[in-house]
Amino acid sequence: MATSTGAASYTNTKSPTIRRILREAAELSNTPSPDYTAEPLESDLFEWHFTLRGPPNSAYSQGVYHGRIILPPAYPLRPPSFRFSTPNGRFEANREICLSISGHHEETWQPAWGIRTALVALRSFMETDVQGQLGGMETTEAVRRRLAQESVSFKCAVCAKSNADIIAECEDRCKETTSLCQEISVPTELNMGWRDELEAAKNDQSTSTRRSENSSELAQGGEPPLTEQSEAELAEGFVQTTPNVADGFSTHPPAPILGIRNRQPPSTASPTGTGAEAVPLWIDRVIVALVILLVAIVLKVLLGV
């Protein structure tokens, strides 16, 4: 991993981002932790390599994992991105992962947090469920324990050291340093953000399940479930009307309404006309016959004269 002398060329910069990165690198070096370490590359302050132990009392407890942190140019106003280089069974290797502290969720990031906070949170996230997380992977506990044992001998090509050597050097620095690191806990905002993500994933899964069940019912010819509003609308469709026999209507029961989509508005038109007081058909025929007879009489009288 990089050394503190590798950043000497940046000491005269006036950039607040560079000063913040240098300060964090010095803080991690001066107050090391036996469980994790991180340093920027000598050639690029915006790319860090980290090494951390797996969280205790878990399938990762015997593992030591290596990865990369990419800082954005606007750091710390924007969050970093994370990739694991060591196969671990929780996150896909060499793929950017989605976390509450990563660039995928800028709304939960706070500039007051730093690399140390991110490393502590990253360790705790290894014990959480995947729930469709980007960059996450599902596997068995046995596979994760096997990968944990194999991770110790993993060697980063850039750092040219194995995970075991890097964490051993970190432990030695802890023994030599008089100012011990004061361990920090995962910020409450990150815990809440992670729980919100899990809850949202569960709700999405429940919604998809309900939609799938409803689609299956419709495919089998069933009617969709009625809500309170649809029940009220359906009830309004069953309007009883009493036909008037004297006006020439035939009595018949109203047709059943099978559903809201099949409901037709009641028709007020009569069988022989468009008005509400239409004349029966036989009366029309009598009137026509009388008119014809009257015309015939008039013509006979005129021709006789």
Note if 181 is an active site residue. no
Pairwise CA distance, residues 6 & 22, whole Å: 11
Pairwise CA distance, residues 133 & 187, whole Å: 20
Residue 82 parent element (H or E): strand 81-84
Quote the DSSP letter at residue 158. T
3-state secondary structure of 40: strand
The answer to whether 37 and 182 are in contact (CB under 8 A) is no
57: left (phi over 0), alpha (psi -120 to 50) or beta: left
Torsion angles phi and psi, residue 126, rounded to 5: -65, -25
The secondary structure of 42-55 as a DSSP string is: SS-TTEEEEEEEPP
User: How far does CA 95 lie from the centroid of its chain?
Assistant: 20
How many CB atoms lie under 10 A from the CB of residue 4? 15
Pairwise CA distance, residues 115 & 70, whole Å: 11
CB within 8 A of 240, min separation 6: which ones? 254
Closest by Cα among 152, 141, 151, 133 to 88: 151
Quote the DSSP letter at residue 66. E
The answer to whether 202 and 131 are in contact (CB under 8 A) is yes
Residue type, 164: A
Catalytic residues: 98
